[in-house]
Structure 1
């Protein structure tokens, strides 16, 4: 077992999550009745994008997921940076690590930027023109201004990260012991503190969202010092979380992709998920 799988397995077991792979693959450009193994969510130009083990999908006119572009690679880390520029990471369909890849046409085509074959970023965040990434292959936090050259930060076992949109020096990471906090841009982290969260997303200074291990969606207005439960994530075990803004939240779980426009109080199902636990 390599470092990536060892780190992911240890953290995922504690957080009651599974980063398992699946074997089915859709045809190029095809629609599928339901998604499986979701790793990331994003919204660009009003369009929903769903990063999965078998490519990036968007809702089609018939309500079924449609493959964006032709890539059916495993998209692990995924973030919408600005406009139609997306960053991602994961594994080619034939195996290995993709390092950091970029799309400037909303996921239709992708090109390699850096660390191909070396790193698999399981979590990506884009804040104030910089990329923050959790390198699961090597178990460390990395940062980059251009996506080509990287600064190595702290070594830790984490599942997700979130960066304060108003103060990028403040970085949070979900670990088996709770939420770890960095005040120096990820170079060092303080000891993790409860509660234990699985996923985090932070798009407004006073609206940090986190999903706890019981599936509760929580919100913090004080940078994670205290949390208030808003609701329970619909559809079973959570797979991904993205806050679009202070009130607009996207969540993927075992049974679907859900959207809330009232700060997580109520959700509408946007897509169906078929038995995924990735």
Structure 2
């Protein structure tokens, strides 16, 4: 990776408060979206380094294709951008970002892509939105509850599962029409990953890992991550990455039964 891809300094706070994870299909590098910017950990590396020199608070984050990232959140204070970034896009591995929609209007804390379909939960306005053209235009759809997370069926972009919590209830919800209507599936709440057909993973607030093979109707416990989760990513049927609140990234290659440290702050 060229020298202008990564910058470090003795005063750099490093990856603080991880919000999202992604793997670039071009080179397999792990990207870590945080309150203090975007960080990269290449294959064989046990630590991460800042991408570029921005410290933007990247809340929502997803990698949609090789070198093409989508994000949301709040700008680096050195810029004159509004406090809500809407949807932003990078086509150079996160070194630079351009607003593409809803600048100043949305703050997506949950951002998930399924081909050209993108789902975003705008926490600033408590609304679930969906785009059918890779984030250029958006439609507000029904949300079952204030969302904790959402995952899309890898075989059907209109089939999604969401975890939500309100003042009076919590649970797991399923939609087969792109979020326009929902059915409640159970009480469990947590971070979600749906990396392969029949492999819906949930990590609850205590770090317990569960797997459902029937889109959330029943879950079986797989293991524990040994801490409270901050972000979850699934890659293939059994490969998972999870971020802990101290910035440690763990990896499992057996569907969440056992975990090893992938990267440390």
Question: Is the TM-score greater than 0.5?
Answer: yes
From 117, 129, 138, the counterpart of 1:142? 129
Q: Say whether 1:57 aligns with 2:39.
A: yes
Paired residue for 2:3? none
2:218 and 2:243 map into 1 onto residues whose CA distance is 24
Q: Is the 8 A contact 1:51 1:57 kept in 2?
A: yes
Q: Within 1, Cα distance between the matches of 2:159 and 2:261?
A: 32
Structure 1 residues without counterparts, runs of 5 or longer: 1-27, 274-278
1:107 and 2:98 matched = no
The residue that corresponds to 2:251 in the other structure is 259
Aligned partner of residue 190 in structure 2, secondary structure: strand
CA shift, 1:191, in A, is: 3.8
> Is residue 130 of structure 1 aligned with residue 117 of structure 2?
yes
Please give the residue correspondences for 1:66-85 in structure 2 after superposition, counting only pairs within 5 Å. Answer: 66-85=49-68
Asked whether the 8 Å contact 1:39–1:52 carries over to 2, the reply is: yes
**2:211 aligned residue:** 219
TM-score computed with the length of structure 2 as normaliser: 0.86
Partners of 1:216 and 1:67 lie apart in 2 by 30
TM-fit CA distance, 1:174: 1.1
Q: Distance in 1 between matches of 2:69 and 2:255?
A: 24
Q: Which has the higher strand share?
A: 2
Check whether the contact 1:34–1:272 (CA below 8 A) recurs between aligned residues.
no
Structure 1 residue 173 displacement after superposition: 1.3
For residues 102 and 163 of structure 1, the distance between their equivalents in structure 2, rounded to whole angstroms, comes to 20
Alignment: residue pair count: 244
1:207 Cα deviation (Å)?
A: 0.8
Per-residue Cα deviation, 1:186-220 (whole angstroms, up to 9, x for no partner) = 1122346212x221011211111111232101111
Distance 2:230 2:200 in 1: 18
CA distance in 2: counterparts of 1:128 and 1:254, whole angstroms: 30
What's the RMSD between the two structures over aligned residues?
A: 1.9
Within-5 A mapping of 1:170-249: 170-176=159-165, 177-191=170-184, 193-195=186-188, 197-234=189-226, 236-249=227-240
Deviation for aligned residue 1:226? 0.8
Q: Is the 8 A contact 2:87 2:102 kept in 1?
A: yes
Deviates more, 1:99-108 or 1:52-61: 52-61
Distance change (3 Å), C-alpha of 1:91 and 1:229: same
More RCO (CA 8 Å, sep 6+): 1
**Deviations along 1:86-115, whole A, 9 cap, x unmatched?**
101001133710000011111111111000
Partner residue of 2:21?
41
SS at match of 1:159: strand
Decide whether aligned partners of structure 1 residues 107 and 214 sit closer, same or farther in structure 2, where only a CA change above 3 A counts.
same
Q: Within 1, Cα distance between the matches of 2:256 and 2:35?
A: 26
Between the aligned partners of 2:61 and 2:88, the Cα distance in structure 1 is 10
Distance in 1 separating the partners of 2:47 and 2:212:
34
Distance 1:93 1:109 in 2: 12
1:36 CA drift (Å): 2.0
